Amino acid sequence: MWLSEFGGPEVLVAADAPDPAPGPGQALIEVEYANITFVETQLRADSGPFSLELPVIPGNGVGGVVSAVGAGVDPGLAGRRVVSSLGGSGGYAELAVVDAGALVKVPEGVALDDAVALLADGRTAVSLVRTVGLAEGDRALVEAAAGGVGSLLVQLARAAGARVVAAAGGTAKLELARELGAEAALDYREPDWPERVREAFGGLDVVFDGVGGQVGASAFELLDSGGRMLRFGLASGEWAAISEEAAAERRVELVSMARPTPEEMRAQTETALAEAAAGRLRPVIGQRFPLERAAEAHAAIESRQTVGKTLLEVARGAPRAGNR
């Protein structure tokens, strides 16, 4: 799927490309599932904090089977189930070439689609919980709690012994958050949701702000002295406008996530996969679309009607509408 111009979901167009071949130190993956993130919808629209150079095949994460390796790579990797990030592009395709050092083997007992669902969101959730120093007994708010990252945060926070309140939009998403372990689940589209958090929890120790905007600003006001807030997403389209001065005045820490090294990213992904293999972490895959319907997948995510993770399913040689 090619992105040749910025715009709505319809600018994602199916077209052929030469089959890639692995060079020295690389491996070729026959892709079975491609990961989609909210950030990729922003990249397509050229509306987010980053930009792409066109034309490009979008997609930063895939899962599949290694079909060939280049010089200097262990030939025993061929035939292994793996997931991998691709450095920012190339994922919405039937074949992908990646540095062999970036491959993460999928543990036995973990389905490949689950592994792809955990590739980006799993490592993000693991990193968020560690960075904020979540402790037993913490009262923690998870925003966008039915999304890819949020649904995993609810589970990890509960496993850490935190009391979890989930914020999401709509009955189905609230029910999912409760099923995953949230003690309370509130619709952040209702104007009184902050007051209801106060009634149930008194205040908060931790906020995982994946929405930003007014939701994030309201969540900040719920933090007690000594609380921590980690802003990691802007599903609302903007970051929560909170100054360092305002945080200092209320004795609240605005926690920042350092940019992880490749080694740290690998370790975080492996942790998420190990938790899944042990049955302690379950990715929620709410929607699946064939590769050639990537535009529909983007539209679904932007409509905010999706639950959990959205994946692209790749079948080699499938009919591709819009070929040119």
Q: Would you kindly state where each structural domain of the chain is located, as residue ranges?
A: 2-105+284-313, 122-255
- Specify whether the backbone of 167 is left (phi greater than 0), alpha (psi in -120 to 50) or beta: beta
Of the pLDDT bands very low, low, confident and very high (cuts 50, 70, 90), residue 276 is: very high
Fold exhibited by the domain 122-255: Rossmann fold (3.40.50)
Confidence (pLDDT) at 15:
96
CATH architecture of 2-105+284-313: Alpha-Beta Complex (3.90)
Q: Tell me the two tokens of residue 308.
A: 């959990």
Q: Is 126 exposed, middle or buried (0-12, 13-18, 19+ CB in 10 A)?
A: buried
Q: Residue 241's beta-bridge partner residues? A: none
Confidence (pLDDT) at 253:
97
Q: Tell me the two tokens of residue 158.
A: 């509960």
305 Cβ neighbours under 8 A, 6+ residues apart? none
pLDDT beyond 60 at 123 = yes
Which tens digits make up the pLDDT trace of 76-100? Answer: 999 999 999 998 899 999 999 999 9
Which tens digits make up the pLDDT trace of 125-173? Answer: 999 999 999 999 999 999 999 999 999 999 999 999 999 999 999 999 9
Confidence (pLDDT) at 68:
97
pLDDT beyond 70 at 324 = no
pLDDT beyond 80 at 297 = yes
Rounded average pLDDT over 19-43:
95
Confidence (pLDDT) at 284:
96
Q: Tell me the two tokens of residue 303.
A: 């409509």
For residue 323, what is the DSSP state? -
pLDDT beyond 70 at 311 = yes
Confidence (pLDDT) at 317:
58
Give the helix/strand (H/E) hosting 91.
none
- The upper half-sphere exposure of residue 274, i.e. CA atoms within 13 Å in the direction of its Cβ, equals 7
Q: How far apart are CA 298 and CA 35, in angstroms?
A: 12
